[in-house]
Structure 1
Amino acid sequence: MGLLTRSKETAPCTVTVSHRFEELSAHVKFNNGAILYPGDIVQVLGHEIMAPYGEVVTEDRTATISRASQLERLWTRATGDFEFMELCEFSFSEEVLP
């Protein structure tokens, strides 16, 4: 990990999507014990996971983790401590990833 450069790694993961009255959620668990740090970006590969209403769907996937540079990590920690920016960004798209 460099001062200004990002590194990438892949990790096997388990994705759980819940579409129930009491819970609407999506969770990713890294099966190799990978840990995320401030500023890291995760992209789960594969087609979208659709859970029918009332069900929970679990699938094994591969994720690409883009590690923040040292400068990005320091910036995220500094601004996150003062709540200047929202640290969790998520999106749902219909784009199919390889």
Structure 2
Amino acid sequence: MPTIVFEASALGPAVTAEAGAGRLIDVCDDARASIVFSCRDARCATCRVEIVEGEQLLDPPARGELELLERLGAPPRLRLACQAVLRAGPGLVRLRAVTGPEG
């Protein structure tokens, strides 16, 4: 079971959670992490997160997520929390909320 660390940001304090396999946005909800989101289906990009550590514990981006991130010119370390899927197994994933237009 991965440990997910949401780093402190302008939106709120750091939060740590244990998570099973599944969508990262569900972990955000359960842990009450300060990640902003709206649509939950790769349309708005408000839930962008920077993967600081543990990228190997996430499935590669699916087509919809990848297309939106490419349109935004986002660097490879950015993902959409509503689309990123955690893999089962031990490890650490550290995330940072992206709160502005920069990536």
TM over 0.5: no
More helix by share: 2
More strand as a share of residues = 1
Structure number with bigger Rg: 1
